[in-house]
Structure 1
Amino acid sequence: MGTIRIGAVAAHFGRDLDFDLQRIATLIEHARSSGVALLVLPDAALGGYLADLRHPDPGALPPALAPDDPHLRKIAALAADMVVCVGYCEADGERRYNAAVCVTGDGVLGRHRKVHQPPGEVAAYSAGTSFAAFDSPVGRLGMLIDYDKTFPESARSLALDGAEILACLSAWPTSITNRAPRMSQDRQARLFDLYDQARAAENQVVLASSNQTGAMGGMRFLGQAKVVGPGGDILARTWSKAGIAIAEVDVAGEVATARRVLHHLAERKPDAYWSRT
């Protein structure tokens, strides 16, 4: 396939779906003008994230959208020949999921429901149950949402399923229990970068990490969108401000080079690992 441009977004999104859609349209337009082929928008880009992670207000949750909601169809139309990943709250009967969908103008390429939940989130969302990679015009992709990337098994599952690009969509806040005076010194800021780089390096894949910015209720989001190479090197980043981190990457070539001598997936020893399953 050769070299492509990958964009990871840092931006703020709230409860107003029409406002969010307009912001997404603007971001897609900017990305297209920069030649981006894969654009990863944040978690909850349609409808915003929770305003309080410890005790979510049942009356102030993000709007729950059906998997074929017109807003999602509009994003697919805006994407056209671009591959776009976007997060939203998915309605499934009485259940709600923190979800992501990957689309082009031709329709849906893949879906993911967040599997791993911090304690307070269980009051607002049900948990997903699986990780699956899927084929796309830019290569084989897998998606993670927020806390999923804290667990090495999440990214490893996608890499073993053939994903060479991981799209990590987040609404990742500063530390709730021990907030630092400066965002750059915050414990969660350090962990957010650490997880992005570790998940890319240990699986020898390209990783595009998006995140929300700004604040909602008591939550203050980190930004720090980035594209990471298969050696764990940060190729582009936004820091804490809104913007699009764009990197030009030969995904297949970079992955092959990273795995030429040390091939982590091929050199695993599953029989030696403790497991209950």
Structure 2
Amino acid sequence: MAPTRRVAAIQWHIKELAIEENHSTACEYIRNAASQGAELAVLPEYHLSGWVPTDPRWAEQAGQSAKYLSSYQSLAKELNICVVPGTIIEKHEGPNGSTLFYNTAYFISNDGSILGRYRKKNIWHPERPHLTSSGLESHAAIDTPIGRVGMLICWDLAFPEAFRELIADGAEIVIIPTFWTPNDASPEALKQNPNSEALFLSSTLTARCYENTCGIIFVNAAGPSADFLGMSQVTLPLVGPVAKMGNEEGLLVADMDLGLLDIAEKNYKVREDIRKEGWHYVYRHTSSE
């Protein structure tokens, strides 16, 4: 029998540049998740400092990222819980003295070890002046205590290719930390449908589960409805969201019945087709070299 995994999605109104306060809030929620038996806790994208890249303090705080990652490792070990601490902005020296910023998600095991790392590949248009893409690095799945997992970040959701590469590598669950707002739609788009971004998320998340016979843990930031969508959820094929939040702050604990993945795969045979020798699609990055 396929296992049921208890997981936690954590969304709150992230305070800009309040790195210590946001970290403290995150740790409190993780402790709460562990007390409810969650095996995994997932935080939103940009959870430490928010998205304010034009403020010099944002870059300064990015240089402190290693300290907070280490703190989450210690907490995971203490509480015996896996943690994906949303995304952490990492500051690196680039060529010719330049500075590069990567938007990075980590999977921390319940023993405190780092099992995998993913740098955001598909950079949202307003982010591109500030962040560096992972480019031709592969989307790779990792073995974890809750199963084989892939990680994507926010706008990666829009690209089926990202999912397919993870599924081809055996991912069963895809984790997506996000900072997705209603105002990511243009004024022209909002005029056609003020709820267009919520529709984007609700339809795409369910579709990705069906077309990849996978489960998704999607975790967004929360706050006033004019500026935040929330909608953190745990979604599975055949049934759609098994637990879902609005735009309120809080902790969502849900049980993922991974047996649904087996039923969906037996029905749709997506993974079976992908594994066929000579399959007519390729789900790997290729280098120009």
Question: What TM-score, normalized to structure 2?
Answer: 0.83
Superposed CA deviations along residues 31-60 of structure 1, whole A, max 9, x for unmatched, are 11211111111111122224xxxxx52635
1:108 aligns with 2:114: yes
Q: Is the 8 A contact 1:236 1:245 kept in 2?
A: yes
Aligned-partner SS, 1:265: helix
Q: Work out the CA distance in 1 between the residues paired with 2:92 and 2:64.
A: 7
CA shift for structure 1 position 276: 11
Q: Which deviates the most, 17-26 or 259-268?
A: 259-268
Aligned-partner SS, 1:267: helix
1:241 aligns with 2:248: yes
1:99 aligns with 2:104: yes
- Kindly, what percent of the aligned residue pairs are identical? 27
1:266 aligns with 2:255: no
Aligned-partner SS, 2:163: helix
Whichever residue aligns with residue 17 of structure 2, its letter is R
Q: Which residue of 1 aligns with 2:10?
A: 9
Q: Which residue of 1 aligns with 2:39?
A: 37
Aligned-partner SS, 2:152: strand
Q: Work out the CA distance in 2 between the residues paired with 1:58 and 1:197.
A: 36
Q: Is the 8 A contact 1:21 1:75 kept in 2?
A: no
Q: Is the 8 A contact 1:211 1:222 kept in 2?
A: yes
Q: Which residue of 2 aligns with 1:90?
A: 90
Aligned-partner SS, 1:123: coil
Whichever residue aligns with residue 100 of structure 1, its letter is A
Q: Which has the larger radius of gyration?
A: 2
Q: Work out the CA distance in 1 between the residues paired with 2:204 and 2:251.
A: 20
Q: Which residue of 1 aligns with 2:163?
A: 155
CA shift for structure 1 position 3: 1.7
Q: Which residue of 1 aligns with 2:96?
A: none
Equivalent residue for 1:164, pick from 161, 172, 177:
172
Q: Which residue of 2 aligns with 1:196?
A: 205
CA shift for structure 1 position 99: 1.2
Q: Which residue of 2 aligns with 1:120?
A: 126
Q: Which residue of 2 aligns with 1:53?
A: none
Q: Which residue of 1 aligns with 2:144?
A: 136
Q: Is the 8 A contact 2:172 2:215 kept in 1?
A: yes
1:255 aligns with 2:254: no
Aligned-partner SS, 2:72: helix
CA shift for structure 1 position 254: 2.1
1:61 aligns with 2:58: yes
Q: Which residue of 2 aligns with 1:73?
A: 70
Alignment root-mean-square deviation, CA? 2.6
Q: How many residues align?
A: 265
Question: What TM-score, normalized to structure 1?
Answer: 0.87
1:222 aligns with 2:229: yes
Q: Which residue of 1 aligns with 2:26?
A: 24
Q: Work out the CA distance in 1 between the residues paired with 2:108 and 2:272.
A: 31
Q: Is the 8 A contact 2:75 2:112 kept in 1?
A: no
Q: Work out the CA distance in 2 between the residues paired with 1:164 and 1:150.
A: 19
CA shift for structure 1 position 84: 0.8
Given the superposition, is the C-alpha separation of residues 70 and 254 from structure 1 closer, same or farther in structure 2, using an over 3 Å criterion? same
Aligned-partner SS, 1:271: coil
Aligned-partner SS, 2:118: strand
Q: Which residue of 1 aligns with 2:214?
A: 205
CA shift for structure 1 position 266: 1.9
Structure 2: gaps of 5 or more residues? 94-98
- Return structure 1 stretches of 4+ with deviation > 4 angstroms: none
Q: Which residue of 2 aligns with 1:146?
A: 154
CA shift for structure 1 position 205: 0.7
